[in-house]
Structure 1
Amino acid sequence: MSHDHPPGLDLERLRAHLDRERPGLVGGPLGAELIEGGRSNLTYAVTDGTSRWVVRRPPLGHVLATAHDMHREHRVISALHPTTVPVPEPLLLCEDETVIGSPFYVMEFVEGTPYRTVEQLAPLGPERTRGVVLGLADTLVELHSVDPAAAGLADFGRPEGFLERQLRRWGKQLDASRNRDLPGIDELHAALGKELPRSPAPAVVHGDYRLDNVLVGADDRITAILDWEMSTLGDPLTDLGLLAMYSSLDLPGSPVSTTGGAPGHPEASELIERYAAASGRDVSAISWYTAFAWFKLAVILEGIHYRFTLGRTVGADFDRIGPLVPVFIESGLTTLQEG
């Protein structure tokens, strides 16, 4: 743990702010390191040698205020912390940009492992892997059973017309990052728009719920759900569809993080049934939600590919994103037809 400043975090200024706002919290000089993970907001582990905390801030450089709203993330974990949903305890929100150059918040450091690849899961063996992933479905049921109004989140999103807005938003996103022919993507978008399901009662939606956005403890239980930047109030089955999509994704060696091919990993259908049994929700339209997840990922990946073709993304693997997009389009169309 380095006492040098990691990029985007001035430790002296952070320390002075914590001493002012939470006297006695920090007992010595701070060291910090940037933790990997989270495609967007930056996450740091910070320690005074005795205790550890986590600091979250938006990425360096220009950002869209809404996409990286620290206030929203802090608000949702503050609302969920008293419930049975495993989230870190939030300690402080700072919206004063003069402290470290952007808004940020501080939360407790939760012990646990993020499993991002088949290789990381392999040492657990099939039985434990199966238990961890079933726990992912159970924890999603917990999240969706929180009453938004009782948690103080009644105005956290606009559930009316949620699916129409989502579909429109991702369609616009596609139009903004399209510079090649993508057979089938317009057909998929149109087909999704033709048969929108009727949403169940709104719930707190995570927006990016998958194995590599949770921490798993030594006992294989989920210790924390992380990365709440996409969270809102809306249709809970969008979270289940995304989980089903990720669970059926087996692209070994792909730059997209996939764990579906791990030995013992339950099939998407089993996760869906488990969720339905525990939540009591009607999941008969789940193929629509899963196809929507394939569409959304196709659009996200095409956006990355588009920036790569413009020379705006540097790093390994970006050249391998483009060829994956047709796989996602095809899977979306197949899923919809099967439904």
Structure 2
Amino acid sequence: MTSLDGLDLAALDRHLREVGIPRTGELQGKFISGGRSNLTFLVFDDASKWVLRRPPLHGLTPSAHDMGREYRVVAGLADSPVPVARAVTMRDDDSVLGAPFQMVEYVAGNVVRSRVELDALGGADVVSACVDSLIRVLVDLHEVDPDAVGLSDFGKPSGYLERQVRRWGSQWQHVRLADDPRNGDVERLHAKLADSVPEQSRTSIVHGDYRIDNTILDPQNPTVVRAVLDWEMSTLGDPLSDAALMCVHRDPALNLILNEETAWTAPQMPSPDELAHRYAMASRQPLAHWEFQMALGYFKLAIIAAGIDFRRRMATENPENPENPDNPDSDDRAGQAVAVLIARGLETLS
């Protein structure tokens, strides 16, 4: 397509030529379904393919959708053991597309989102080996020295857990319904977390949203991770928080948030406890204050679900808008996950 909501291809073409990106033929674009926060597009000409990400068209929330953050971490990790797509260009203002955006090279491979796609990978041994590779990549990320890749100022080196509790509690105030019936339980979990923040285990680069569908797997060998995607919540923080959220994503409530039977919640995947054990073995790190880390993960995922539902409510009635509630990929079930995840968090802490 040469015209897409949120992607002005003519303006993007001018920008690419201005910054010296080689171009061959007409620039075209395609919306990539499955994005539940930032919008993701495949952009291509006769010779090259790129992936462009930009904030959603409606319902933006404070501190989210940071294009500069995504681009910077991908550029910094280019020569590290963590596989990433090569950074191409970004703008942190609205001068080109009416919103910030960042663009990286297209990486060929498989993004495994659904259970059907997971089944196509192979049997239980293949899935288990794939999970081991995913965990190894996460451990590799947590072992990268931020100073060595130019990310020493990517976030504050301490106080991450306290800031996370505060940030997601504040985010709830922006996305909740008026007289929200879930507010009592949300505030209860928020207070319990705020009263029990432990010391940070150590400081590393954290992804903030790690699971199988935020990676690209090699099309011939699914035990090889070719790139890690979706870095919008990355920062410096506590690596155990990253590992715990990976385990929290195994909850069936993720199916409501992503509006499909997801690969990561499939029965053939290791249980949350098994994932935690594998991470501990691979990282050679104790899972300190694990109940708090898991409860914080449930809290974060609940507020993310509320934010997705908030954007759905704010969407326009344009039937071609990817965020429109009439779109078959709409996130119309995400709001149902909030109460479930908050209850999980309260149960974990108690």
Letter in 2 for 1:189: H
Taking a change above 3 Å as real, the CA distance of residues 13 and 175 of structure 1, as seen in their structure-2 partners, is closer
Other-structure match for 2:337:
324
Measure the CA separation in 2 of the matches of 1:193 and 1:35.
Answer: 38
Paired residues of 2:257 and 2:335 also in contact (CA < 8 A):
no
What is the CA distance between 1:15 and its match in structure 2? 2.4
TM-score (norm 2): 0.85
Deviates most, 126-135 or 195-204? 126-135
Q: Is the contact made by 2:36 and 2:331 (CA closer than 8 Å) also made in structure 1?
A: no
Partner of 2:94: 97
1:282 to 276, 280, 286: 286
- 2:252 is aligned, of 250, 253, 257, to 250
* Structure 1 residue ranges without an equivalent (≥5): none
Number of residue-to-residue matches in the alignment: 333
Please give the residue correspondences for 1:284-299 in structure 2 after superposition, counting only pairs within 5 Å.
284-299=288-303
Residue 5 of structure 1 aligns with an amino acid whose one-letter code is: S
What is the deviation of 1:105?
A: 2.5
55 and 307 in structure 1: CA distance in 2 versus 1, 3 angstrom threshold: closer
State the alpha-carbon separation in 1 of the partners of residues 180 and 8 from structure 2.
43
Aligned partner letter, 2:292: W
Deviation of residue 238 (structure 1)?
Answer: 1.2
CA contact (8 A) 1:250 1:260 kept: no
The 8 Å contact of residues 38 and 227 in structure 1, kept in 2 or not, is answered as no
Change beyond 3 A, Cα 1:321–1:48:
closer
Q: How does 1:165-176 map to 2 (within 5 A)?
A: 165-176=163-174
- Rounded Cα–Cα distance in structure 2 between residues aligned with 1:130 and 1:165: 34
State how far apart, in whole Å, the 1-side matches of 2:70 and 2:311 are: 27
Counterpart CA distance in 2 for 1:118 and 1:142 is 27
Contact 2:306/2:335 (8 A) holds in 1:
yes
What's the counterpart of residue 107 of structure 1? 104
Q: Which residue of 2 aligns with 1:135?
A: 133
TM-aligned CA distance change 1:318 to 1:164, over 3 Å: same
What's 2:319 paired with? none
Gaps of 5+ in 2: 317-323
TM-score, reference length from structure 1: 0.88
Letter in 2 for 1:59: P
Q: Helix, strand or coil for the counterpart of 1:105?
A: strand
Structure 2: which amino acid aligns with 1:327?
A: V
Give the letter for the 2:302 counterpart: A
Aligned to 2:180: 180
Secondary structure of the corresponding residue to residue 147 of structure 2 = coil
Where in structure 2 are the equivalents of 1:153-232 lying within 5 Å?
153-176=151-174, 177-178=176-177, 179-182=179-182, 184-218=185-219, 219-220=221-222, 221-232=224-235
Contact preservation (8 Å) 1:127, 1:264: no
